[in-house]
Chains A and B, each alone.
Chain A
Amino acid sequence: MQLRAQLIDGIQLVSTQGRIDQAGAEPFSAALSPYLADCCAGQPAIVLDFAGVEYISSIGLRALMLAHKQATAQQGRIAIAALTPLVAEVFAISHFDQVLKVYPTVADAIEALR
């Protein structure tokens, strides 16, 4: 899985797309890994742009939870932005919207984490 990354206003914006399910979760985690390694105190926070994510299953949500735990352990910050309506529903039903920082738009997330 290819991730697009760019530094905007001191925030590492990482964009992904497709399905983060049984087939897509491991490639997603592997692709995110180098950005997570740098997500620590004094370094840019990560905003995951989910506008292109079509679906996320439990294994994909677990990958997000592990990313969140790693970033938190390193005193880094990570947030997710621009969920599609379907993915937003999955976040709400699974209560991931109560555990992770989720913002309606990338701009909102950058503003909050800047």
Chain B
Amino acid sequence: MKVRFWGTRGSIPVSMTAQAVRAKLITALSGAGGVDLNSHEQVVAYVDQLDFATAGCFGGHSSCVQLETGGAEHIILDMGSGARPLAGHYLGQHGGKPQTYHVFMSHLHWDHIMGFPFFTPAYIPGNQLIIHSCHSEAEFAFRRQQAEPSFPVDFSLLRADIRFNIMEPGRDYTVAGLTVSAKKQRHGGDSYGWRFDDGKAVVVYTTDSEHDVGDLAERAAFADFFRQADLVIFDAMYSLAAAISVKEDWGHSSNIVGVELCQLAQAKRLCLFHHEPAYDDLQIAQILNETRRFEELTREGAPLEILSAWDGLEVVL
């Protein structure tokens, strides 16, 4: 299974600013003194050894993740603004040939559905879209955001065959060759985490989920849901201090809780996700480094690999 991230930012999309680009250029050029950059290859080699926060960018699209299973049907997790470039990717691969898309929704807040009106396959006759959700209001939410005066193209004008499949948490389903189950999470209006198992690898997608660290039963239940996952995509929007003080009940979690739950679950990889929109690349990179250090400090068994999601990241399991 391959996991490709198209939108990794929390709450609202953000974009790179001119000041941020300038700061990256200044950092890169300041470190180039004495480096031989006379050929294109030398320049590429220099850029490639720069740290990610300088030479790259975590990106700004809101939540959208693609699972590639090797099967004919496509799997998408949430329809944040990252769904727009994902649509371009699919069209580049398949053109107008009819495809089946399975979309699994964590919840229906705007940052998780806002990419759908720009998901071009929804406009193409012959395509089939099945939107899986544990929220009974899913269809209402999707139709409402395309109704006047919010969007110029009404949902009824979409030409794909679009269906809504309301699921129940705690049950195993088989979808596109995957065993899929959902778990209810703490978030305004509820959210649901998803566990996907193709028989070779397990991916858990758990975003927009607050954890009450004092609730030991809840902790054990999430550890079971994450059990021995190859990858846990985890809402690490806030620091632990913020998540249990000024931002308590805001519906998000922290890197610390992500590490603790993954260690308890004996998961293999933790991917920090749903980045705080106020953070720049340096801050997100610092959180990644700190999280890796925290994992080292608390490790008792096998190492837990720590990643930080960025728009364009691919993880092969």
Q: Contact residues of A with B, CB < 8 Å?
A: 22, 25, 55, 57-59, 61-62, 65, 69, 86, 89-90, 92-96, 98-99
Contact between A62 and B293, CB atoms less than 8 A apart:
no
Given the interface pairs A89-B297, A93-B290, the reply to whether A99 lies near B241 with Cβ below 8 Å is yes
Chain A CB within 8 A of B245 CB: yes
The A-contacting residues of B in range 252-298, CB under 8 angstroms, are 254-257, 260, 290-291, 293-294, 297-298
Contact between A58 and B293, CB atoms less than 8 A apart:
no
Q: Enumerate 7 A-B pairs (CB-CB under 8 Å) in ascending A order.
A: A57-B260, A58-B213, A58-B257, A61-B240, A62-B213, A90-B297, A93-B256
Residue of A25, A61, A69, A95 with most partner-chain B CB within 10 A:
A95
| Nearest-neighbor residue (CB-CB) of B212 within chain A | A62
A89: contacting residue among B242, B244, B254, B293, CB under 8 A = B293
Give B215 Cβ to nearest chain A Cβ, in Å.
10
Report chain A residues within 8 Å CB of B294.
Answer: 89-90, 93
Distance in angstroms between the alpha carbons of A48 and B177 in the assembled complex: 55
A-B contact sample (13 more), CB < 8 A, given A22-B216, A61-B244, A95-B242: A58-B240, A58-B260, A59-B213, A62-B213, A65-B244, A92-B290, A93-B294, A95-B239, A95-B240, A96-B240, A96-B241, A99-B242, A99-B245
List the 5 closest A-B pairs by CB distance, nearest first.
Answer: A95-B239, A94-B240, A95-B241, A58-B213, A99-B241
Distance in angstroms between the alpha carbons of A65 and B212 in the assembled complex: 13
Give A100 Cβ to nearest chain B Cβ, in Å.
8
Contact between B214 and A62, CB atoms less than 8 A apart:
yes
Distance in angstroms between the alpha carbons of A99 and B270 in the assembled complex: 26
Given the interface pairs A58-B256, A58-B257, A98-B241, the reply to whether A93 lies near B214 with Cβ below 8 Å is no
Q: Contact residues of B with A, CB < 8 Å?
A: 213-214, 216, 239-242, 244-245, 254-257, 260, 290-291, 293-294, 297-298
Report chain B residues within 8 Å CB of A59.
Answer: 213-214
Distance in angstroms between the alpha carbons of A95 and B290 in the assembled complex: 11
Distance in angstroms between the alpha carbons of A93 and B259 in the assembled complex: 12
Give B315 Cβ to nearest chain A Cβ, in Å.
24
Give B45 Cβ to nearest chain A Cβ, in Å.
33
Give B151 Cβ to nearest chain A Cβ, in Å.
39
Report chain B residues within 8 Å CB of A95.
Answer: 239-242
Distance in angstroms between the alpha carbons of A23 and B293 in the assembled complex: 23
Distance in angstroms between the alpha carbons of A62 and B257 in the assembled complex: 11
Given the interface pairs A22-B216, A58-B257, the reply to whether A86 lies near B297 with Cβ below 8 Å is yes
Distance in angstroms between the alpha carbons of A55 and B300 in the assembled complex: 13
Give A64 Cβ to nearest chain B Cβ, in Å.
10
Distance in angstroms between the alpha carbons of A17 and B297 in the assembled complex: 18
Residue of B214, B216, B241 with most partner-chain A CB within 10 A:
B241
| Nearest-neighbor residue (CB-CB) of A66 within chain B | B214
Contact between B297 and A62, CB atoms less than 8 A apart:
no
Distance in angstroms between the alpha carbons of A98 and B260 in the assembled complex: 21
Give A70 Cβ to nearest chain B Cβ, in Å.
13
| Nearest-neighbor residue (CB-CB) of A96 within chain B | B241
Distance in angstroms between the alpha carbons of A59 and B214 in the assembled complex: 6
Give B239 Cβ to nearest chain A Cβ, in Å.
4
Report chain A residues within 8 Å CB of B242.
Answer: 95, 99
